[in-house]
Structure formats: structure tokens, C-alpha cells
Chains A and B, each alone.
Chain A
Amino acid sequence: MTDLDAQVRALRTSVGLNRREHVAVVRVDGPDAFALLDLTSPAPLLLREGQMRHTLLLNTEACPLADLYVCSDEDGYVVLADGLSEAALVAQLEGRRAARLPAAQVAIHPQSETHELIGLDGPYAWELVSAWLGPSVLGMPYLTLLRVDDVLAFRAGKTGEFGYDFLVPRGRGALERLTALGAAFDLMPVDLPALDVCALENGHFSIRTVRDSALARPLTPLELQLQWRVAYQRDFVGAEALRARRAAGAAVRATWFTSAVTLAPGQDLTLDGDTCGQVLACTTSPTLGGAVGIALLSTRLAHPGLALVAPTDAGPVTLATRTAPLIRNRSLFVDPHRHSYRTRETETYPSLVLA
């Protein structure tokens, strides 16, 4: 088992710990904080205190720059951005303010100097979190945040398992405390590639899929099946371009697939000998034992249930388009009211692999 295999296995069956250094965190407050973030987010931000909205940061061409959570805290907002550095996130927000709300009274506070973001993911992440912060976190609904002492806990996650992020003050020993408590859960440090494998297995969007794409085609929420993060009638940066793209119709759509071997991004895909799309992303799936990926297919063919062929230099490779998620998440069967990691061997869980 490779290191990556072990990390994915931990994310799927116990708990993985990740230092979310790929996520920029800023606080936004002031009388016009809502106005600025409302202009930034393609999704409506009617949030009660303690709620989060999963949205996107788009450029003027409606292409994603970052995977965004906007979180309503008691004193303002916390923005978590996967895909941008802290400086780049601040620049984006300041740029939007200068261009559209020059008189706005808004303060943007980068967090990295005083805080760090730590993540826990896995079917027993809730139990470790409860051991660390107390039972109040057990009742957190998905996409909510809760302050426990000096820790700000966010319930989110992009692996399909229980997932939490924690904004903790630096130098207070949070990581050490979690590591010590995590021994009882076989807690494993996991890297970003492992999280991205799990995201792909579960049909979750990763900003690195488009940022690292070998394809020259610009992709918007329309092609990426992310329209649920957008409200077309809203005014936001990129709205005009997105509405124009929608009016023209999407020529391609992201569609998940499985194959026996990993395919390179940009690899052509054919159906009955005719080119019908290209690979957008593909990776080995330790869970499934083969490869999982996303193809950009002609919209007419962008459906599960098709057998395509990738004419690679090593020979033709067959792949099957599938309905995401591609695995059966253990977290769907783990009940915080009844189950525990220490008694997991006494439980019978269905296979992670869908029939």
C-alpha cells in the first residue's frame, strides 16, 4: 500500500488530519461587508449567524478562481478560499471593492499570521472532534460554524465523509492536542492529493481540476455542473459572461468515469470511433482499485452509462461514464448516536465499492 493509498484508506474508514495550507482565510467586517461579499458570491448570501454558503469566486469570464465558503460569524464574515493564496484573495476582494463599491466601509483581515486552519475528515471525525471540543459539535448541521472557546469550527468537507475545519490560534498546541487524542482513532496525517482523490471519487469539485487543466477551453459553472452554486438573476463579478454562456448553451459538460488505468488530462475520448470529448482529470482510486476521472463530453453524450474508448499511445483503453458519487461512503452508515470507532469491528458496514 502506498502512502497515498494509506491516506485515502484513513479518510474512508477512520480519520485523516490535514493542515489546510491550501486554503486562504480572511475575516471581512464593517457596515458594508455584506455588500462586498454579496457582489463577490454568485450564490445568495442570506445567512443566519452560524451558517455557511458554499460558492465560488469567479473571474469576469465566469471561470472559477477559488472554491469559496462564506461564513456568517457573530462579528462579520469569515471567507475560506481554496485555490488562492491569502494575498491573492485579499487582492481579489480589494479589487472588487475598488471597482464596484469604492466608498464601502469594509475591513479585510488576513488570518494566517495569528491563526492556522486544520481539517479532520473521515467517518469517525465527529468522534475525535467531540473528544477534543466537547459534545456541542455533535449537533452541528452541515455548512454551519460554531465557536468553542478560542476555536472556530466549520462543518463542511469535500470527501463525502464527515468533515470539519478549525480556525485555531497559533501557538496554543491545538495540533499537538489533536494528535494525542487522535491516537485512539488511528489518526493519520493526510496530504492534499489524498483529499483530491476522495473529492474525485465522490463527485466533488476541486479547483485544481480546472486550474491544472491541460485543456485550453475556459470552463464555467455551466460546463462543470456547478450551477447549484449560482443564481443567474444576481449581480456578481462574472454574471454577464455566465448568462451569455448559458444563453449560447454549453457545448460540453463534465461527466464522471471509471477506467482500469489512469488517463492523462487532455486525452481524447471516442465513441464508435468519433471523438466525443477529452479527459479533464483522472487519478488512481485506491478505494475502487482502478482509476476515476472527469471527462468533458459533448453535451448530447454527457450521461452515465456509456462505454467510451481512449486511444492512448499504449493502446485503446475502455472507460465507463458513471453517476457520481462513485463509492459508497462509510459516513452514511455511521451514526454518532450509536457507533464508535473503538467498536467498529463489531459493526457490519456495506462495501465502499458500489456494485
Chain B
Amino acid sequence: MIDDQVLSDAIEPERYEFFEQPAYNFNFDRRDFVKALGLGIVFVVPLTRALGQQQGESGRGAPNQAIPNDVGAWIHIDEDGGVTAFTGKVEVGQNTRTSLVQAIADELHVPIPSVHLVMGDTDRTPFDLGTFGSRSTPTMAPQLRKAAAAAREMLIAMAAEQLKVQPNDLRIVDARFVNHDKTKTLTLAEVARGRKLVKVIPDDIAITQPKDWTVAGTSVVKVDASSFVTGKHRYTTDIKRDGMLYGKVVRPATFNATLVSSDTKAAEALPGVKVVTDGNFIGVAAPDQQTATKAANAIAVDWKSPGQPANAELFTLLRQPATERGGGGEGGGAASRPQGSIAEGMAAADKKLEQTYTVAYIAHAPLEPRAAVAEWSGDKLTVWTGTQRPFNVRSDLAKAFHIAEEKVRVIVPDTGSGYGGKHTSECAVEAARLAKAAGKPVKLVWTREEEFTWAYFRPAGVIDIKSGVKNDGTITAWEFHNYNSGPAGIQIKYDISNNDIRFHPANSPLRQGSYRGLAATANHFARESHIDELAQAVNMDPLAFRLKNIKDERMRAVLTEAANRFGNPRLAPGHALGIACGFEKGGYVATYAEIAFEPPSAKEDPKNKRVRIVRVVEAFDCGAVVNPLQLKNQIEGSITMAIGGALFESIEFANGKILNPKFSSYRVPRFSDVPAIEVVLVDRKDIPSAGAGETPIVTLAPAVANAIFKGTGIRLRSLPLAPKGLAAS
């Protein structure tokens, strides 16, 4: 069982979508996975408890040892020497598949192509809370390494016995056991042949330290790249099952609508169409997509919708304290108690500042919309779906259909992105419901409009900051209130002894939840903009001001690295520079952003100027770097995504409808928006690897806001900064 403390520690308050369902039951039932895997040797890593405590538990169906209930990962070496590892993590484009395979290959000393990683299959992989929070690298990689390290040592011992040499005379090189004078050798296959073993790893087994990495630490390209460049890889949306129907859901007219009446006769009359009505759920399944759409459109529905707010009232609403159950309670994360005295800090200040910053709701807009293929076979339900939390989906399906979790299998193909937006199960449940009624497999793919409307958004937010600073640049007071968007990234690395930092939950008019970086995007925008305003107030250079108020050596290091790489070039006329630094999820980041101002299009006010980002230098420290190539890819991707949230992305809504639910009305960054990006990796082999999927996104928006101020004297305090150019802001 995952105990409650682990669960609540793992979930940040602003992951509102986690709390939408009742608490669920993590019943990880021991299966005969050993039998299913066939001959060979299986290495199992326990998750939380030391091996000693498990000796008293009885194994079921385990030939050799008691298998613990809480398992992090397992590795199977088969009779042909093939290495298969199993993890509950999933691949959504962060290329975790590649870095985890690297970790195994590195530990086991086998070639990368010989390692196969099974991910996100609830029948075959261990339980996992979900692929979120930049946790795969810091927590899953070490577990797989432990299994691989144990495998290596045990296999060496077995090989030594077969070769009649001492174990310490043997090494594994490229999946072969070789003794020192190279006179005796054995392959992995020859050692594994004819055995059927399960070995539980002691929790304290040593894994290779970063300074000794040989395969990890190098730039390995995406492991199955050729299946993607040929279009062969089957995403959920590409899966076909025999007799499969195509599903479509009839959506309510607005959010919070109640069904008054529906007339499904015309839809039911269409050939091969099955209609399902159940409370507010109305859906169809049809032999082809066109008929499904026709059937859905043929259903006449009467909805009753309450009046609901629009963008204009949003920030006033968000200041009201929450009355509904949100995520966590008030707080500021780990250390939310005020420190020192704000009153004293303000009294000691030469300059005082008080400002408000806002961020809009934005959408994840993953290019593969959410989708599910559901198939009932007897009393077993299998659902393929692109989700970041397969075990959560399994649990929701079991509850929705009142069946045991053991009767549900969720499989996650490598998926067309998520960015924190694919944590919930609605598409899987919808597809399964249609499949149950139709008695055939059903594929349900959300349209782009549904994806922009019926998923959850990154929370909007209002942030008030009150601060004081001495003329010599010392920040004396820092009072920070975040309304609605969340406490991630709210804590400071600045040395300010008088601080009061709080998060206030609110009732959100729109459904909201996790997004890449969570509230760290909002909190860094507000903080790093305000820091710049303080620097301005005492006429100090923004870099010098930050260095004066930060002792943390890793933060100083990334600032210095970014500064050095940006250099001191003479900026072209009409260009301006802004900087920002940040910390989140164990990663330190500093960004230098150079922008240019451009004239508006012919149709616009000639005095309006547009902002274009021309050069970004970003320095990043996440401890020991596993794969420099993929890491840079993630950082560049984060920066590119951040441009949207910084400059032009914003969900427009009114009266329970999303007004811009398409790419033609919700602008996302394109080729023409991307600047020259230079990434500086600060590789700390002496520090355990942190994750990197999120932190690089947090500093781009404030760096750009600071550059806009530098170039125009205009201080913009709302994201998006300039969706229609500067004059309209």
C-alpha cells in the first residue's frame, strides 16, 4: 500500500484534477507475472520498505522468495539474453523512455538496442502514481538502476560459477562476461538459459555514481526514432480493433448545464448506430466517423444553463476565498510560516513597492487530442489511452463500471504529449461506456474544440506583492500573496529575512489543474518582474541586484553562466534585454531574453508595436546530466512553449463557453515565433539528478516582461503580455 503520507507529499495543492474524484484504493494485487514472463531471471525492486520487513509476508505463486507488495520496478533477463524492464511511468514526449533505457544499459553494461522497456501497462508494470512532477529521472531511474545493478552482480556470480573463475575476475562488456585476460567468455543468454528465478533486491544496493557513468551522461538519440519518422508508431488515435466502432459524445451547451430533454430517435434510426443516454452523458457509436458525427448532430438536446462569468470579472472573482473544496488548504508550501517582521522590514526600507500581477487561464493543447480505445472481452475491460496516470484511469474505470480493478487493463502507447494535461480519465470512461452499450470496441477521439473546452486549464491567478528595499540594494521586506494559481515555486531563493508568502485558494469559474511547472510559471513571472522593479527603484543593474540578494551558490552559478554566454554584445537599435532566474523541482534556471520591437501590420494602429523574441540564453542546473542531447531538447521545448504563455496565449470565456477553442483563435508558438536559443548546461555530477521537464519554462515570461520595460519604459504585469501588440496592453 502506498501510505497516505507518501500520497499527500506527492501531490501539490494546485493539482486540482487529482481531487476531483473520491480518494481511491491502491490495491496492488500480486499477479503471477513471473509465469507470464516465462523462463529467465526477474529482478524486483521493493518500493518503500526494507527487505527485512518483508520476510514475514507470504509470497503467492512466487517460486523463490516473497515478493513485496510495494514494487518500484522489475527487470527480466530472458533466455536469449534480452533485457526487458517494466515501469509504470509513461512516455509523452519527454523522452524518458530513452533516458531510462540509458540508465539500465549503463548499469547492466549491455547495448542499448538489447534493452526493451515496457511502460504504462497496468497488467504488466508496477503501480505508479503517475508521470508528472519531473519525478521520473530522480525516482524511477534509480529504481531501475538498482534492479540492473543487482542483475549485474548476480549474473556475474552465476557466470563465474559456470566459467569456474572468481566473480571479481569477471566484467560485463557489451552483454558478454569476460575475465581479465580475456580467455574465458560467456553471453548473457548462456547464463540465463534454463533458469526460472525471482530475486528481490535489497533496498541499499549500490548503483553507479554519475562520475562513473559511461552510457548515461551521453547524447543518445530517441531509442525508437525510426518508427516515428516512418509513421509506423501507433498512437492511441491510430489503434484499430476488429469490429471497432467510432464514438462521439454530445457535449452540453455550456459548463454547468443540466439536461432538460433529448430526442435521439433520428440518431437511432441511422444504420449501425448505437445511442447511449445516461444522466448528462449522451454519446453515440457508429461504424464510421462520418456517421458518428451525423448521429451526434441528429440528437436534439435541450440544456438549461446558469449565467456564468466572463474574463472581465475573473480577477475580482479569484480574490474571493474558496468556498468549494479545492486542492490543499491555504499555505505557501513547505515553509509557509511568515519569517521576521514585514512591518520592521518596511520601516527599514528606503523605497517601498506594491504591485499586482495577473496570469490568464491557458490550455495545454497537446497535438494529439485525448483519445481512448475501449474493448470489453467477457468481463474484462481493456482501454488504450494517452494518459499520464494509467493506474488512476484503471481505478476510475473500475469505479465507473462497478468492477474489480483486476478486471481492468489500461495500456498507454507512447503518446502525443501531455504537459500535465492528461491526468484524468474522462475519455477512457466515455469510450468504455459506449463500448459496453455497443458490445463492440469503440474508439473515441476528442476533437480539437473538445480538447480546448472540456479538459482542464492551467489556473489563472492574481498575485499581490508588497516589498521594501534599501538604497544599497538590500531587499528588506517581501510580502507575497498568490490567489488561485498555486504555491509551486512560491518560495524564494533570495535572502530576505522578513517575508510572508502565502497561497490563497479560490473558486475558479473554469475547470483547472496541473500544467507544466504548475504555479511556478505564475509565481516566477510575478516575482522576477517585481525584483526587476525593485532594482529599477534603486537604480541598480538587474544582475547585480539579484547577486546582491542571493547567496545560494547554484542560483548564482546559473545567473553567471547565462550572463557569460549572453556576453556583452552591442544590441541592435530597437532591441532590449531582460533577465530572470528561478528554482523549481530541484532545478536552477537563469534566462537572458533579447527582444525586438516591430511595426504592426498594415491594418493596425501605426503607433502599436509588436514584440518578437530574437535571442534566448538559458543556463540550467539539474544535478548530474543523464542525456545532454535530450536535456537540451527539453529546455528548448520549454522555452518555446513559454513564449505562448508569455506573449499571446489566453483562454477567452463567457457564460460557460470557451470563446476561442481552436488553433485559428488560440494562438500557439510557431516556427516564426522561435528565437535563437542557446542552452548552457551546468552539469553537476556530484549532485543526484533532478527532473527537467518543467523548470526550464518558468523564467522566460518575466525575462521578456523585463526586456519590454527596458526597451519601452512600459511595465506590463499581466500574462499574456502583448497578444495584440504593445499599444493594446
Q: Do the two chains bind?
A: no
